[in-house]
Amino acid sequence: MGICIEPAESAVASVSLNACCTEPAAPAACAPARMHVTYDELHGSIVSSLDALRAAGWGEPDYLVAISGGGLIPARILRSVLRHASKQGGCAQIKVIGLELYSDELEGRPHEAGVKRTQWFEKDSVSLVGKRILVVDEVDDSRATLAYAVRELQADVVEEEAALAAVGAPVPETHLGVYVIHNKLRPKVGSLPEGVPEFVAQELDCNPWICYPWDAPDIDEHNRGAARALLLQHAIPCLPPAN
């Protein structure tokens, strides 16, 4: 397989911002309840991660593979940030895949666990071999969805490489990476293959329910929630979560 393995030291690149304090249930502690994120904060986090991407050689990817729906808006913002910073004037193409994560129990009812495809590339519509491919999502929570996406992309690359080799065509190296806005520092269900770097705009040392602006039925109320949380963050010490 011609997928390039990145150096171990670049396996995780992150720009940390302490975002533990959200909306505490009681003034005595900073419980990881809800964390409202604004569009301005998202844009700022993506811009702040540009140096880490460029330092690791990911400043000009060929494809941004957005995991629908949470990865769509981050991928679009990231594309503009990378394009404006590009020395070659390059502009990554955005490709979209759809995945749904099912847990063992859904609302108390047994449910089949695992990740399901809802959208993928059509055969022969996208050439992955020889490309630098960055998978984009909004959050790395359990890592199950990201791990599935990378494994399936690797399988597509292997299939395409075999087809090229069968006709004697060159098989250039392919690079795969992952980019998320938020990474929750919690035990993960899935794992990324060795050598696939993960770039993180913001590490979260607790486990809040993250409220993204594109999910808000009322954006003004959403922004007010973010403003209230910011005031609480400065007023209340951020304590580590209880074991």
Closest Cα partner for 173 from 53, 57, 94? 57
Domain count, the chain: 1
Does residue 150 contact residue 11 with C-beta atoms inside 8 Å? no
Q: Which of 10-24, 27-41, 113-127, 160-174 has the lowest mean pLDDT?
A: 10-24
- 218 among known catalytic residues: no
Q: Which amino acid is at 115?
A: V
Which entry of 51, 137, 141, 215 is annotated as an active-site residue? 141
Dump pLDDT digits (tens) for 88-124. 767 899 999 999 887 554 444 444 458 889 999 887 8
Residues sharing a CB contact under 8 Å with residue 101, sequence separation 6 or more, in sequence order = 114, 115, 142, 144, 145
Yes or no: say if 52 and 199 are a contact pair by the CB < 8 Å rule. yes
Dihedral sign for Cα 197, 203, 205, 210, please. negative
Cα separation, 40 vs 137, whole angstroms: 17
User: Is 45 among the domain residues?
Assistant: yes
Q: Is position 160 within any domain?
A: yes
Is residue 243 over pLDDT 80? no
Instruction: Give, in order, the Cα–Cα distances in Å from 198 to each of 35, 58, 133.
Output: 22, 11, 12
Tell whether 27 is covered by a domain. Answer: no
Whether 161 is covered by a domain: the verdict is: yes
Confirm whether 123 is domain-assigned: yes
* Closest by CA position to 47, among listed 219, 149, 181, 238: 181
Instruction: Say if CB 49 and CB 236 are below 8 A apart.
Output: no
Question: Domain with 76 in it: what CATH number?
Answer: 3.40.50.2020
> For 6-16, how does the pLDDT look when each residue is reduced to its tens digit (9 = 90+)?
433 333 433 33
pLDDT of the residue at 150: 97
What is the average per-residue pLDDT within 218-229? 92
Q: Which domain covers residue 185, as residue numbers?
A: 13-21+32-233
Residue 8 lies in a domain: no
Amino acid letter for position 206: C
Could you tell me if residue 240 is inside a domain?
A: no
Burial class (CB in 10 A: 0-12, 13-18, 19+), 63: buried
Domain-embedded: residue 3: no
Mean pLDDT for the chain? 82
